[in-house]
C-alpha cells in the first residue's frame, strides 16, 4: 500500500504566474482534500473532491481550482499568483465522506511566490 504523494516538492513562481500541484491518493481512497498552510498556522481547507466532483470549498477565491481524475489522483491549480499564496500546500486522501474517517496527508508542496 503506497501513501499519499505530492509533486513537486518545492516550487518558485513569480507574481501573476499560474501553478499546478499534483497529488496521488493512497491506494483505495476516492476522496481528496487540499489545504493551504501558511507559516506558523494550521492547515486551511481549500476544497475537496469526491469521485471526480468538487464536494465542498473553503474560503478561497475562484482562481484556486482543482481536478480529480478517474484514478482519484488530483491537481490544484492557482492562477494569477499573489505573494500571499506562498505556503505549504497539503493534500489528504480518505475513503468516502464519513466525518470520522482518517485523512492521510502527503508531505506537501512548498510554493514560494516572488
Partner 1 sequence: AQRVTQPEKLLSVFKGAPVELKCNYSYSGSPELFWYVQYSRQRLQLLLRHISRESIKGFTADLNKGETSFHLKKPFAQEEDSAMYYCALSDSGSARQLTFGSGTQLTVLP
- Contacting residues toward partner 1, per CB under 8 A: 4, 33, 35, 40-45, 47-48, 55-58, 90, 92, 97-108
Is the Cβ of residue 69 or residue 105 nearer to partner 1 in the bound state?
105
Percent of the chain as helix, strand, coil, to the nearest 5? 5, 50, 45
**Using alpha carbons only, how large is the chain's radius of gyration in Å?**
13
Confirm if 34 and 59 have CB atoms less than 8 A apart: no
What is the torsion angle, in degrees rounded to the nearest 10, for the CA atoms of residue 34, residue 23, residue 15 and residue 110?
Answer: 90
Q: How far is the CB of 109 from partner 1 (least distance, A)?
A: 12
Is the Cβ of residue 82 or residue 102 nearer to partner 1 in the bound state?
102
Q: How far is the CB of 114 from partner 1 (least distance, A)?
A: 26
The residue assigned the cell 499519499 is 4
Is the Cβ of residue 49 or residue 113 nearer to partner 1 in the bound state?
49
**Which backbone phi and psi does 101 adopt, to 5 degrees?**
-70, 135
Is the Cβ of residue 60 or residue 69 nearer to partner 1 in the bound state?
60
Q: How far is the CB of 104 from partner 1 (least distance, A)?
A: 8
Amino acid at each position: 500500500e503506497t501513501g499519499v504523494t505530492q509533486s513537486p516538492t518545492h516550487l518558485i513562481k513569480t507574481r501573476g504566474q499560474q501553478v499546478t500541484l499534483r497529488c496521488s491518493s493512497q491506494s483505495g481512497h476516492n476522496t481528496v482534500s487540499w489545504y493551504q498552510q501558511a507559516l506558523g498556522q494550521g492547515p486551511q481547507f481549500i476544497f475537496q473532491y469526491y469521485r471526480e466532483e468538487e464536494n465542498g470549498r473553503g474560503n478561497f477565491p475562484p482562481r484556486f481550482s482543482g481536478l480529480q481524475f478517474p484514478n482519484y489522483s488530483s491537481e490544484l491549480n492557482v492562477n494569477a499568483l499573489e505573494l500571499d499564496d506562498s505556503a505549504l500546500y497539503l493534500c489528504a486522501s480518505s475513503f468516502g465522506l464519513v466525518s470520522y474517517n482518517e485523512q492521510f496527508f502527503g508531505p506537501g508542496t512548498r510554493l514560494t511566490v516572488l
